[in-house]
Amino acid sequence: MTTSIDAPYEILTPDTAIAYVRTRPALAGRIDAENVRSVREIGDGNLNLVFVLTDGAGCGLVLKQALPYVRLVGPSWRLTPDRARHEAEALRLHGQLAPGLVTELYDYDAERYVLALEDLSDHRVWRTALNDGLRHDGAAETMGRYVAAVAFGTSVLGMDAGERAATLAAAVNPELCLITEDLVFTEPYVDAGRNCVLPANEPDAAELAADQDMVAAMGRAKWAFMTRAEALVHGDLHTGSVMVRGADGAVEGPVDSAKAFDSEFAFYGPVAFDLGALWANYVIAAARATALGDDDRAAWALGLCTRTWDAFESAFRARWEDGADGGLADPRMFRADLREHLLATWRGEAWLFGAAKMTRRIVGLAKTSDVETLPPPLREGAARGVLRTARRWVREYPADAAPRRAEEIAGELLRTT
Ligand code: SR1
Ligand code: MG
């Protein structure tokens, strides 16, 4: 499949990946390119090729190459491979601000749009671990701390104005943002021919699209997404964008590592967009658990919303107060009342963006395996519960923005639909 791709740059294949590594000085010592034992293409996302190479000593290396189109759909949907640069630049900056909380970048090849990354074969994609019924405690908190580090460190709070302007200019990412604008905010309500649900969920999708409060709220959310350049957010921080590893090699339990990856959607946007993405995917994980009759697990999954928020809030406060990373860029003007205003705004907006992100995964293109791998009779109820949660979140969020309340609403609706 990979040999026949029509692209204006050379596409890697399992056969050419080893020779490629030899041409990259930055990769010397990362892997023994003279003794590579295996090369596997493991990309399971919607956009890119991903190869993992392992040498005779067990050292691994990941090569991720952007295709000039959307892999999920095929060559008819062209997409800039420059998204790989956005991913590389976000990984570099996020890695400086949140050491160990994102995948380490070894090399970026701007001519062939290839990132060389640390091998995380001893981790699992969080979503697949969740689907297997595993609990990785501490991952939600780690992601909260990651979002806080980025919120503070890439915004005008932590960067001087000139540096922030240059970072923002380089991070303008219109093609990838357009995907989010269309797929997340518009298409669940204005079908562009890419939506699809089970026949039994068609009335639910129709009710959603006819819900004028929901459509109005999504308009406000889209406006915020398109205009509010607060920080260099990840931009696609769902549970499939997080790798987790149990401590001491355990298959579940407390994690000793959780890392965000796949930041090609990174851009200067609202901080709460990343928080809402996490919350939405916790609800989707809970919907799966409820459908499978495991209410205890569903409650645990929903509880991740508060865990992420609390970790985010305390890490953000700590950065503000402790002067981490140089402290506030402008302490004369950025005072405690601004901090409280921002936290209150983001806590509320996480509901709004969470609602947007969970809805698109049920109705639109690019669904999630949590729900899609359920047998249809169970999928129907899970999908309905998620859509109802989204609509209720949008109705309730200005009145009471506590994450615990968001969890309660979701728990009740998932159980009763
Ligand atoms: C056409 S790309 C579809 C989705 O894949 C990515 O993971 C993003 O979530 C995007 O919306
Ligand atoms: Mg992705």
CATH placement of domain 2-118: 3.30.200.20
Q: In the numeric block, which tokens belong to residue 302? A: 């929903």
The CB density around residue 253, as the number of other CB atoms within 10 Å, is: 14
Q: In the numeric block, which tokens belong to residue 222? A: 């889209």
Residue 4's pLDDT is: 66
Ligand 1 atom at shortest distance from the alpha carbon of 238: 9
124-416: which CATH topology?
Aminoglycoside 3'-phosphotransferase; Chain: A, domain 2 (3.90.1200)
- Distance (angstroms) between ligand 1 centre and the Cα of 338 equals 33
Cβ of residue 264 lying under 6 Å from some atom of ligand 1: no
Q: In the numeric block, which tokens belong to residue 244? A: 């987790």
Query: Residue 78: nearest ligand to its CA?
Result: 1
Cβ of residue 179 lying under 6 Å from some atom of ligand 1: yes
Residue 327's pLDDT is: 82
DSSP β-bridge partners for residue 36: 55
Ligand 1 atom at shortest distance from the alpha carbon of 46: 5
Residue 3's pLDDT is: 47
Q: What is the DSSP code (8-state) at residue 402? A: -
Torsion on CA atoms 78, 81, 83, 88, rounded to nearest 10: 160
Ligand 1 atom at shortest distance from the alpha carbon of 183: 11
Q: How far apart are CA 95 and CA 102, in angstroms?
A: 6
- Distance (angstroms) between ligand 2 centre and the Cα of 175 equals 14
Q: How far apart are CA 153 and CA 327, in angstroms?
A: 9
Span 162-216, pLDDT tens digits: 999 999 999 999 999 999 999 999 999 999 999 999 999 999 999 999 999 999 9
- Distance (angstroms) between ligand 1 centre and the Cα of 47 equals 8
Q: How far apart are CA 138 and CA 255, in angstroms?
A: 6
DSSP β-bridge partners for residue 258: 244
Cβ atoms of 263 and 247 within 8 Å: the answer is no
**What amino acid occupies position 404?**
R
Cβ of residue 356 lying under 6 Å from some atom of ligand 1: no
Query: Residue 125: nearest ligand to its CA?
Result: 2
DSSP β-bridge partners for residue 243: 125, 259
- Distance (angstroms) between ligand 1 centre and the Cα of 349 equals 21
Span 285-295, pLDDT tens digits: 999 999 999 99
| Percent of residues, the chain, with pLDDT higher than 90 | 94
What does the mean pLDDT of the chain come to?
96
The string over 155-174, giving b where at least 16 C-beta atoms fall within 10 Å of a residue's C-beta and e elsewhere, is bbbbbeeeebeebbeebebe
Angle between helices 336-363 and 202-210 (to 10 degrees): 140
Say whether the ipTM exceeds 0.95.
yes
Question: How distant, in Å, are the alpha carbons of 75, 332, 333 from that of 329?
Answer: 45, 9, 9
Q: In the numeric block, which tokens belong to residue 201? A: 């969920």
Ligand 1 atom at shortest distance from the alpha carbon of 70: 1
Q: Is the pLDDT of residue 34 over 70?
A: yes
Q: Is the pLDDT of residue 324 over 70?
A: no
Q: How far apart are CA 148 and CA 311, in angstroms?
A: 8
DSSP H or E run through 389: helix 376-396
Ligand 1 atom at shortest distance from the alpha carbon of 45: 7
DSSP β-bridge partners for residue 51: 41, 63
Helix, strand, coil share of the chain (percent; to 5) = 55, 15, 30
Query: Residue 79: nearest ligand to its CA?
Result: 1
Span 59-112, pLDDT tens digits: 999 999 999 999 999 999 999 999 999 999 999 999 999 999 999 999 999 999
Q: How far apart are CA 275 and CA 145, in angstroms?
A: 11
Cβ of residue 46 lying under 6 Å from some atom of ligand 1: yes
Query: Looking at ligand 1, which residue's alpha carbon is closest to its atom 2?
Result: 46
Q: How far apart are CA 250 and CA 310, in angstroms?
A: 26
Ligand 1 atom at shortest distance from the alpha carbon of 265: 8
Residue 323's pLDDT is: 62
Domain locations in the chain as residue ranges: 2-118, 124-416
- Distance (angstroms) between ligand 2 centre and the Cα of 242 equals 10
- Distance (angstroms) between ligand 2 centre and the Cα of 208 equals 26
Cβ of residue 236 lying under 6 Å from some atom of ligand 1: yes
The string over 211-239, giving b where at least 16 C-beta atoms fall within 10 Å of a residue's C-beta and e elsewhere, is beebbebbeebbebbeebbbbbbbbbbbb
Span 257-294, pLDDT tens digits: 999 999 999 999 999 999 999 999 999 999 999 999 99
For ligand 1, mutation pick of 46, 73, 177, 178 (most atoms within 8 Å of CB): 46
Ligand 1 atom at shortest distance from the alpha carbon of 262: 7
Cβ of residue 216 lying under 6 Å from some atom of ligand 1: no
Beta strands 231-233 and 69-70 are unpaired
DSSP string, 156-224: TTTS-HHHHHHHHHHT--HHHHHHHIIIIIITTTS--S-----GGGHHHHHHHHH-HHHHHHHHHHHHH
pLDDT band at 397 (very low <50, low <70, confident <90, very high): confident
Query: Residue 262: nearest ligand to its CA?
Result: 2
